C-alpha cells in the first residue's frame, strides 16, 4: 500500500474513531484493530481467507476485517448456532 493511501486511511479511521468515541465501544475497538492492521500491512485483506476486501466494502466500512463472503458465512454460522434446541 502506498504511503498516500496509508495516510488517507489513517485520517478516515481517526475521524470515525473521534465521531464514535464514547458511543460505540465495539466500533471503536474495530477501528483500533483496523489501525493496527494498517500499520502491519494487513489492512484491506480478509482475516479469515486472506483475500483482498473490495474497495466498495472498505469505503462503506473502513474497519472491515473480513471480505463480504466471509462476513456472510460468519453471520450464517452465528444464526445457525443460535437456533433453539427442539
- Domain coordinates of the chain in residue numbers? 3-81
Average confidence (pLDDT) over 7-11: 94
Average confidence (pLDDT) over 56-74: 95
In the prediction, which pLDDT does 86 show?
62
pTM value is 0.78
Q: Which three cell numbers stand for residue 82?
A: 443460535
Residue 64 CB burial class (10 angstroms; 0-12, 13-18, ≥19): buried
Average confidence (pLDDT) over 66-73: 96
Q: What are phi and psi of 67, to 5 degrees?
A: -70, 170
Q: Is residue 85's pLDDT more than 70?
A: no
Q: Is residue 80's pLDDT more than 80?
A: no
Architecture of domain 3-81: Up-down Bundle (1.20)
**Residue carrying C-alpha cell 482475516:** 47
Which carries the bigger pLDDT value, residue 1 or residue 14? 14
Amino acid at each position: 500500500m502506498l504511503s498516500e493511501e496509508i495516510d488517507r486511511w489513517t485520517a478516515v479511521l481517526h475521524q470515525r474513531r473521534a465521531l464514535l468515541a464514547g458511543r460505540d465501544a465495539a466500533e471503536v475497538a474495530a477501528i483500533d484493530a483496523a489501525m493496527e492492521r494498517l500499520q502491519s500491512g494487513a489492512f484491506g485483506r480478509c482475516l479469515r481467507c486472506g483475500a483482498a476486501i473490495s474497495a466498495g466494502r472498505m469505503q462503506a466500512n473502513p474497519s472491515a476485517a473480513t471480505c463480504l463472503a466471509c462476513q456472510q458465512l460468519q453471520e450464517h454460522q452465528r444464526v445457525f448456532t443460535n437456533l433453539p434446541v427442539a
